Amino acid sequence: MHSILQYKEKVLNGDFISKEEAMIIANAPLEEICSAANEIREHFCGNDFDICTIINGKSGKCSENCKYCAQSSFYSTKTEEYSLLDTETIVEQAKYNDERGVLRYSIVTSSKKLTEQEVNKVCKSIRAIRNETGIAVCVSFGLLAEEQFTKLKEAGVSRAHNNLETSRSNFPNVCTTHSYEEKIETIKAAQRAGLNVCSGGIMGLGESMEDRIDMVLTIRELGIRSIPVNMLNPIPGTPFENNKKLTNEDMCRIVAVFRFLVPNASIRLAGGRELLADKGVKCFQSGANAAISGDMLTTSGISIERDMKILTELGYKAALWNE
């Protein structure tokens, strides 16, 4: 059996870690794998830290039955509902983030996918953002077609987001109103349109470590190098409201294993980070090198000012990575 040092050297030499090797790494002593993952991160990514913010561009009344989601129409939650935001509101928030040093801004909307009319409307907002700020624009608009992604790219979008959420085998336990293959095809459509892609998942959906590793291996096969790692924030009224919350140690182990698997990626702490006592600091010393700052879609997050202070204290600098 190889030691963590040997696996680290294998990665540093440019070789890929297999599923079997990742499973061994996942069961090694936590401090050992976190320290090695941090070295891998520094080797491949330096101290660049990709910090982004999101805006909930359209909220609630979603036709999908994702069991973790407060915005699903299948469940009774206290989520605010509204249609696609106007250009003024979206641009105003982009300017606010741009002025605070955030380099990437994502517009996220509920529903299986935006309609053609909604895509045209939001393209106007994206053009205004690009004309009035220097911030990069990412979108998360559901299961769009290549032609719609092309239209968004022409408007100024550089990255599309579509989480796999979990492994292919576990996905039917999470959602049944769309398939894993639909997600894969959406990602490939965005790539064919010339967009960078961001895709990750939610930890704490009842998945195993093997499920997490399988998800990242699929992401690696797709050539994706921006990977959001969400920690489930159990929402009352959803089927997962009583799921056990993961610990700081759980999240450190997860991001460390992911770093071994995708050494040159942006491993991005996303939703649920606010539940961690240290707001993700230990994870940022265990292989993570990116984060979503500010409020999440339906839950409070961590302020941009606090995050910038954390980055400075850890020796990171805000920079676009894998753009």
SS3 content of the chain, % helix, strand, coil (to 5): 40, 20, 40
Please give the pLDDT value at position 74. 82
For residues 156 and 127, the answer to whether their CB atoms sit within 8 Å is yes
For residues 135 and 158, the answer to whether their CB atoms sit within 8 Å is no
Please give the pLDDT value at position 296. 53
Confidence grade of residue 297 (pLDDT, cut at 50, 70, 90): low
Q: What are phi and psi of 8, to 5 degrees?
A: -60, -45
For residues 243 and 234, the answer to whether their CB atoms sit within 8 Å is yes
Taking only the tens place, the pLDDT of each residue in 81-129 is 888 999 999 999 999 999 988 999 999 998 889 999 999 999 999 999 9
43 pLDDT higher than 80:
yes
Provide CB contacts within 8 A for 119, sequence distance 6+.
Answer: 141, 144, 148, 151, 152
For residues 288 and 280, the answer to whether their CB atoms sit within 8 Å is yes
Provide CB contacts within 8 A for 118, sequence distance 6+.
Answer: 58, 84, 109
DSSP class per residue in 151-220: HHHHHTEEEEE---BS-TTTGGGT-SSS-HHHHHHHHHHHHHTT-EEE--EEE-SS--HHHHHHHHHHHH
Tokens representing 168? 């292919």
Tell me the β-bridge partners of 138: 106, 159
Taking only the tens place, the pLDDT of each residue in 183-219 is 999 999 999 999 999 999 999 999 999 999 999 999 9
Residue listed under structure tokens 């000012």:
305
Confidence grade of residue 288 (pLDDT, cut at 50, 70, 90): very high
For residues 138 and 100, the answer to whether their CB atoms sit within 8 Å is no
Give the range among 119-128, 135-144, 239-248, 302-311 with minimum mean pLDDT. Answer: 302-311
Task: Tell me whether strands 317-318 and 290-293 are parallel, antiparallel or unpaired.
Answer: unpaired
* pTM (global) more than 0.75: yes
Report d(CA 103, CA 117) in Å as an integer: 28
Answer CATH for 29-318 from 1.10.510.10, 3.10.350.10, 3.20.20.70, 3.40.50.720: 3.20.20.70
Report d(CA 323, CA 317) in Å as an integer: 16
Please give the pLDDT value at position 59. 86
DSSP H helices in 198-284: 209-221, 248-261
The secondary structure element, H or E, covering residue 31 is helix 30-45
**Among 74, 77, 149, 83, CA closest to 110:** 83
Q: Average of pLDDT values for 282-306?
A: 82
